[in-house]
Structure 1
Amino acid sequence: MTLIASGIAIAVAVMLATMFPVLWDSVLLFTRIIVAVSTTFVQFIARGCAAKFPNWSLRFELLHSVIRVCTETYGERMATERHAQWIRAQSDVLGSLLGWFSCRRFNRSLDVVHFNGLEHVWLRNKQPRPKRLVVLYLHGGGFSVLSPRLYTSLGAELAATIERDLKQRSGRDLNVDVMLGLLRQTATRWYCFPSREGLAPSQIILAGDSAGGGLVMSTLLRVRDSKPEQLLLAAMLIAPAVDLSSDEPDAPHCFLSRAMCKAFSAAYHPNYSDPSTWEDASSAQCDLRGLPPVFLQLGRLDFIFQHGDRLASKANADGVTNWELDVHDDMPHVFSIFPSFVLPYAHVGVQKLSTFAAKSFLKGEDRDTRDARAN
């Protein structure tokens, strides 16, 4: 597994190092990556072959070191359209490859659907059942990069884990499908899509990580204010980007860089330096009352940890009582999305998400049953 993870790290390095038109830029980045990987190995051996943190693995350390060097060296370039297109294309290929194995492992089919001129991905159980539940997932990537296919492995594992939890809690076999939505438009642009599938709000949980988590919050706030009857059952946020104040403290053990995050914020919200323009793009400063239950998962080593921390504090200040906060002390940004063969602890994060989702789905069913009897 270490060799496989090392191969993925090298593939990521080559992918990023070859996207620059100037040869010297590529040489510099690749050299820094080699130094970082070598240093990681040496430090691992010096610690007595122990990982940097108790819940890390050598495989994750290697990949983490590669990503960190890339974001620190040329992270701000990733927000430009030319570089974003390149990274999206490469992440599409990598996600398709890893996702193929995950779909086989978790008995999922991958179906492509086009909506609003964009490609979205359905991950469905290969054995359809009468009752269908859905996780509508908005992926991360700084509002401009990464492909939804990169999240195929996470989606397949999450769906299978929720199905297992539902079986244990209710004794029934229920279908859980995951829709991986493309990020380049706000979720409200295609919020009506679930109704085309014959799905009721009580059958759907809205989820997202990083920038996608920020879009989840923006979506919830806009739907609450315009069509509250269409609010979905619940929401799950993984390290959401929800604060445009850009005053994050240094985070030496996270692969995000300050320059990259500022570039993404500027690309997403050009006037982000003016708080009067933020509105729901910075939901940590919004009124959070009247939203469905929210599960908020954070890693304390995350560069944008304070985004989620401030969001939770604002919810508490607003008197919100239906949120759950899940903090992991030695985890960096979006740790749950990494393949478990790279970071075994990622499954802990997925299981936490699954437990919340299963409980929410069953509560929604109970409420629908009571409403049907009352009518």
Structure 2
Amino acid sequence: MSRSLVALGTYCAILGALLAYCNLMQIGFTVFITTAIVVLLIGYTLVFAGFCFMGRTLVRSPLEAPIAAIKLQLNICNTVIRYVGRGFKPHFPQWTLTFEITRSIMRYMFEEFGEVIAFENAHLLREPFAMHGRMILKSNCRKHNTIPEKLEANGLEHMWFRDPDKKQYRVVVIHFHGGGFAMSHPLQDVELANQTHTMLQQMLKDNYQLDISVDVLLANYRKSPENPYPTPDDDCLKIYQFVLKHENVSPKHIIFSGDSAGAKLSLFNCIRMRDSNPEQLPLCCLLYSPSVDFEEKGGDEKSPFCIMPAKFVDSVHQTYLAKVTDPEERLKVSPVNRDLRNLPPMFVQYGTLERFYHQGKRIIAKAKEQGVTNWEVDFLENMPHDVVMLPTDPGREQFSCPAGQSDVVADLADINCMTGSLLDFGLHFALLGVFLAYFDVLHFGFQLAVPIIFLTIVLVYALLFAGFCYAAYPFATSFVLVPYIAIKMQVKLISLLAAYVARGFKPTFPEWTLVYEITIAMMRYTFLDYGHIVADVNAHRLRPPFEMHGKFVLKSNSHKHGTVPEKLVANGMEHMWLRDPVKKQHRVVVIHYHGGGYCISDPLQDVELANQTHTKLQQILKEKYQLDASIDVLLANYRMAPQFLYPTALNDCFDIYQYVLKHENISPDHVVFSGDSAGAEMSMTNCMRLRKESPELQPVAALCYSPVVDFSETDNDEKTPYCILAANFADNCLATYLRDVTDPEERRLVSPINHSLKDLPPIFLQWGTLERFYEQGLRFKAKADAEGVTNMELDILENIVHDPVMFPTAVSPAAEKGIHHGCEFAARYLAPVLRASSDPEPEPRI
């Protein structure tokens, strides 16, 4: 029903797998198999009970609930089998597996049981939505920094999401939920409300420099069949009047928002107010999938993928309009039959696969015919009805609804990485395994199915163990040690999960996620135990995995961000361009140098970082400075230690910059340096070299994510117990890199902190508070301030370890935020340069 329930299921599955593994090791195969069967039976009993709870809302008698539960499970099995049959691909490219299952089961419920729901059981489908909302209320409000506050008004319970900070301006959004005028609950839209708060506030600040408090009210109304039209409409109008009276806010500071039935209620009440009290009209309306023509019946053949089949929609409309007997009055209930002039600005959104898509096109056409110019329509390709009501997780790209989050953003102003792809593959494999095991039991019976399931488990674990061995290979000095290290890594992983469970399924810090905690803890563990081996002996083994990751995500990630990958062979090495396919008025080149302790990794490690830089920098220049620029990003390569020592890598980075200037017909003041970790230090150091040798070739800015600025600082593990850069790795990497630098003064000057920081291009510095280089970063910025440097900006990420931007956004909760801050800095210095190179452009919007 929600992300929380799915997460809980995941935690239970992880815990169950760990317990099963421990049981197998401790009590032997025979007892283990018996125990496993009992556990599976208990687990399935609980799952079946959950389906029965869901099934009870769909049938007339509790005795029919188990039958409905079985039908729902068969529907899910059918959907997953079709998904597997398509090669683990969803029906449409815009969908995900979770979304397809959700859509399929909703349509099946409404198609099979729609009339029962509408006429008899609508009241039973209100409390589950309220439970969902209450379950996620605190965590979601904490995430979006809002304060939930219950409101009792007009005999109904509503819910405020208050902005804790009172700012210069205040806006109130009143949201009316959907549910066919009959079911659901205001708390259904907790996530939608909080996202509206956050995104509206952010857009007003970023695009218009307006610091505004945004309060969102999830408004309640009485529903049919108990309370047919006009009761729901009147309740919505009354709560609006209540807000005007008690909240000291002007109508011009209020936005109506509604999805499905709630969108119709928003639009219809605007029509009523225009005709009676036009001075009370709100600022604008956000209408997600409104029903605007109640005379339209049937239509399943036109919308076979919509969650709203005719059996349900026609029935709930019938109960909603039960008291409207006059044909003329019935026509007027449909907004499409009303005058659409002199209404507030309307944002209208439909999916192209939904039932109301065609009537939506008709009302838009009618508005245009009447000369209305303040309506905007948004059609979501291959999306069914009311996608914004489904949960979405920004940290895990598009959890249930692939369109939900991005469209809330648009309305108000991948996991495309190796990690995400592997997680997707693991999920697909696990689902397939579960269903095959289930069918084995049904087909062969328990006696034959148990050996089959057992052999499958052994095979899967063998594959899993092989994966751990592959991961362990770079840390071993001998093949004999690989299995031993693989076992240690598994034990470490189990201990991390056990600690996570013991904390009540909470990460160590609120800014972390489970995936992020596992990733950084496993990296720290391997670098702590085997860092010296990597730095001195096996660095070359940790380069192909990063290259493989980059190649794995290159096409899909570039497609997502609209860039074209182009291999470049220059200075005896392979580099990678991510080109902007559209040549615009201005052109900017970003040269990015990857990290890796000067000895590991590959330029393709940073495919996602580069593409996000392209997209975010382009977007900020366009939205904030009205500059249309092509952004090309070069992932630059350099030779690494221990084969190539200082200053080889530094010179390679300098040489590729000169190559770009020579062959790309680009001015230095249209070039941005970017680098993470070791690459950030080399970006900065080469700016110092350019200051001395060729100051006219300085880039417009440098983005330095987690640079090392003081090579003399060693062995500080006790200060940074969470950082991925353990001293055993970092100190040995730096020692290897500087092996040929024997002169003390030359070695001292390798550190950027020992140079003057004046007369450099604008430099963006970013560190996490938990990382190894955090304190030297503070010293570096303090020195710049003492020297009177004003074009250097420090960005601190709370409770984040070293180099968060190198991780996929699905892993690192700070990656997107960190890159966005860097791009905002670069855009600030690019804007005047780009304007000066062409005709005058308008100033940034205030």
What TM-score comes out, normalization by structure 1 length? Answer: 0.88
Secondary structure of 2:378's match? Answer: strand
- How far apart are the structure 1 equivalents of 2:180 and 2:4? 28
- Amino acid in structure 1 at the alignment position of 2:163: N
Correspondence for 1:190 among 230, 239, 242: 239
- Amino acid in structure 1 at the alignment position of 2:366: K
- How far apart are the structure 2 equivalents of 1:11 and 1:129? 48
Please, what is the CA RMSD of the aligned residues? Answer: 2.4
Answer with 1 or 2: which has the greater Rg: 2
The reply on whether 1:94 has 2:132 as its aligned counterpart is yes
> Contact 2:176–2:220 at 8 Å: present in 1 too?
yes
Deviating more after overlay: 329-338 vs 242-251: 242-251
> Contact 2:48–2:69 at 8 Å: present in 1 too?
no
Secondary structure of 2:126's match? Answer: helix
Correspondence for 1:318 among 370, 386, 393: 370
Evaluate the alpha carbon distance shift between residue 230 and residue 3 of structure 1 in structure 2; reply closer, same or farther with a 3 A threshold: closer
Q: CA deviation at 1:272?
A: 6.4
The one of the two structures with greater contact order (alpha-carbon pairs below 8 A, sep at least 6) is 1
> Contact 2:160–2:215 at 8 Å: present in 1 too?
yes
Name the counterpart of 2:410: 352
- How far apart are the structure 2 equivalents of 1:126 and 1:294? 29
Secondary structure of 1:134's match? Answer: strand
Name the counterpart of 1:369: none
Deviating more after overlay: 38-47 vs 290-299: 38-47
The C-alpha deviation readout for 1:81-118, integer Å capped at 9, x for no partner, is x5222211111001211333321211111111111101
Name the counterpart of 1:62: 101
- How far apart are the structure 1 equivalents of 2:49 and 2:210? 42
Correspondence for 1:236 among 277, 286, 290: 286
The reply on whether 1:43 has 2:82 as its aligned counterpart is yes
- How far apart are the structure 1 equivalents of 2:158 and 2:55? 28
> Contact 1:194–1:200 at 8 Å: present in 2 too?
no
- How far apart are the structure 2 equivalents of 1:77 and 1:110? 34
Q: CA deviation at 1:271?
A: 6.0
The 5 A counterparts of 1:171-190 are 171-184=209-222, 185-186=232-233, 187-190=236-239
> Contact 1:248–1:304 at 8 Å: present in 2 too?
no
Name the counterpart of 2:682: none
> Contact 1:109–1:124 at 8 Å: present in 2 too?
yes
Secondary structure of 1:192's match? Answer: helix
Q: CA deviation at 1:212?
A: 0.8
Name the counterpart of 2:61: 22
- How far apart are the structure 2 equivalents of 1:66 and 1:6? 20
Secondary structure of 2:237's match? Answer: helix
Correspondence for 1:331 among 364, 369, 383: 383
Name the counterpart of 1:292: 344
Evaluate the alpha carbon distance shift between residue 58 and residue 4 of structure 1 in structure 2; reply closer, same or farther with a 3 A threshold: same
Name the counterpart of 2:71: 32
Name the counterpart of 1:168: 206
> Contact 2:350–2:356 at 8 Å: present in 1 too?
no
- How far apart are the structure 1 equivalents of 2:127 and 2:333? 26
- Amino acid in structure 2 at the alignment position of 1:203: H
Correspondence for 1:203 among 253, 261, 284: 253
Evaluate the alpha carbon distance shift between residue 157 and residue 254 of structure 1 in structure 2; reply closer, same or farther with a 3 A threshold: same
The 5 A counterparts of 1:101-120 are 101-120=139-158
Secondary structure of 1:278's match? Answer: helix
> Contact 1:296–1:325 at 8 Å: present in 2 too?
yes
> Contact 2:298–2:314 at 8 Å: present in 1 too?
no
**Structure 2 residue runs without a partner (length 5+):** 11-46, 223-231, 393-398, 414-622, 624-846
- Amino acid in structure 2 at the alignment position of 1:199: V
- How far apart are the structure 1 equivalents of 2:102 and 2:55? 15
Name the counterpart of 2:295: 245
- How far apart are the structure 1 equivalents of 2:210 and 2:220? 32
Secondary structure of 2:384's match? Answer: coil
> Contact 1:159–1:178 at 8 Å: present in 2 too?
yes
- Amino acid in structure 1 at the alignment position of 2:178: G
Evaluate the alpha carbon distance shift between residue 246 and residue 11 of structure 1 in structure 2; reply closer, same or farther with a 3 A threshold: farther
Name the counterpart of 2:188: 150
- How far apart are the structure 2 equivalents of 1:334 and 1:221? 22
The C-alpha deviation readout for 1:183-233, integer Å capped at 9, x for no partner, is 323222333112220010110111111111111111001100001111111
- Amino acid in structure 2 at the alignment position of 1:348: S
> Contact 2:52–2:66 at 8 Å: present in 1 too?
no
Q: CA deviation at 1:306?
A: 2.4
The C-alpha deviation readout for 1:263-289, integer Å capped at 9, x for no partner, is 111111126686422254200111111
> Contact 2:52–2:68 at 8 Å: present in 1 too?
no
Deviating more after overlay: 19-28 vs 108-117: 19-28
Deviating more after overlay: 327-336 vs 337-346: 337-346
Q: CA deviation at 1:317?
A: 1.9
Name the counterpart of 1:343: 401
Deviating more after overlay: 167-176 vs 268-277: 268-277
> Contact 1:144–1:183 at 8 Å: present in 2 too?
no
Name the counterpart of 1:254: 306
Q: CA deviation at 1:6?
A: 10
Evaluate the alpha carbon distance shift between residue 57 and residue 6 of structure 1 in structure 2; reply closer, same or farther with a 3 A threshold: farther
- How far apart are the structure 2 equivalents of 1:257 and 1:108? 36
The reply on whether 1:73 has 2:131 as its aligned counterpart is no
- How far apart are the structure 1 equivalents of 2:323 and 2:265? 17
Q: CA deviation at 1:149?
A: 0.7
> Contact 1:5–1:63 at 8 Å: present in 2 too?
no
Deviating more after overlay: 252-261 vs 93-102: 93-102
**Structure 1 residue runs without a partner (length 5+):** 360-375
Evaluate the alpha carbon distance shift between residue 279 and residue 216 of structure 1 in structure 2; reply closer, same or farther with a 3 A threshold: farther
Name the counterpart of 2:271: 221
What TM-score comes out, normalization by structure 2 length? Answer: 0.40
Name the counterpart of 1:371: none
> Contact 1:125–1:177 at 8 Å: present in 2 too?
yes
Aligned residues: 355
> Contact 2:174–2:257 at 8 Å: present in 1 too?
yes
Secondary structure of 2:243's match? Answer: helix
Q: CA deviation at 1:172?
A: 3.0
Name the counterpart of 1:125: 163
Q: CA deviation at 1:130?
A: 3.5
- How far apart are the structure 2 equivalents of 1:342 and 1:306? 25
Deviating more after overlay: 210-219 vs 272-281: 272-281
> Contact 1:36–1:69 at 8 Å: present in 2 too?
yes
The C-alpha deviation readout for 1:221-265, integer Å capped at 9, x for no partner, is 110000111111111100001111123522111111211111111
- How far apart are the structure 2 equivalents of 1:218 and 1:253? 28
The C-alpha deviation readout for 1:128-170, integer Å capped at 9, x for no partner, is 3232101111110111211101101110011101111011112
Deviating more after overlay: 335-344 vs 114-123: 335-344
Secondary structure of 2:256's match? Answer: strand
> Contact 2:189–2:218 at 8 Å: present in 1 too?
yes
